[in-house]
Structure 1
Amino acid sequence: MSAFEELVEAHGSALLGYASRLTRGDHHRAEDVVQETWLRAWRNLDRMTEDRGSVRAWLMRVAHNIVVDQYRSRRARPTEVEMPEGDPTSVPGPADEVLNRVVVGSVLEALPPTHRSTVVEVYFADRTAAGAAEVLSVPVGTVKSRVHKALRVLRAELPAPAALEAA
């Protein structure tokens, strides 16, 4: 029997029991901890002698450190979130695009022409306030106030998302 096999024979069950307690009874996780502990012991086999200190205490300390490292790494990772229902990679179909255009078009009709043209320049032509002001030949402050007022009207006129899904 090799020195490593003797080490496993002498301390294996105690190490697994200790790892099980550290992992609160999670047997699979405890086995992973023990396996990692044995790997580290195998790498340091030349130092695994009683004249250098308690081998069992060294094994227990290594197992403890592995569990602490796992705990810390789990806390450092972001929390997992549930995937939304349905296919998150689905692309809206042509019918959805038509519906969106009809809804947006009818809601934009509720705006005064000056506000509508400002919203179109800022959001649909993707211009900055300064760029829209230059195209519309108005001051930048006028563009900002028109957009603000237009968005207030649009929020009031736009149907709720649940109403859009039901349509």
Structure 2
Amino acid sequence: MRADEQLALRELHGDYAELLWRFVMRLVHDRAQAQDVVQETLLRAWQHPEVLAREPDALRAWLFTVARNLVIDDWRSARHRHEFGMNQLPEVSSDDQTERVLDAWLVGDALESLTVEHREVIRRAYFGGQDTQSIAAALEIPEGTVKSRLHYGLRAMRLALEERGVSGR
């Protein structure tokens, strides 16, 4: 770039950058985007030296028209239609709990179909975290009986779940 071109570009920037920026800010309300539009406008003026030779009013009108057209082009672009700026981060998504809720409902329903004795040992073992010795002591029955009820209760529960359309996982 020649020295006279550099000087002309500096003068162009000094004379119009702030005015263009305020104009574009009223249109886009985004500092970074306004700065990008101003830079692109001034670059286009520099790429068309015949524009720089115009009268000051005509040059100003050309610059503001280019800036406005750049904003309009951006509004019409796919990027503008599909991307939205946000002042805050989107909320954190959580896992879909539908499967878990459905499984809990099916297990609860199958559990209710068992005998009281089988249901009690399964609840204490699987939901209460008790071992066979603790269950036997709490229910005042032998440990072998607890093991037998767990075995047959789980077997009956598997059948009840299969009847409800749940296959073995």
Q: TM-score, normalised by structure 2?
A: 0.44
Q: Tell me the TM-score normalized by structure 1.
A: 0.44
* Structure ID, larger Rg: 2
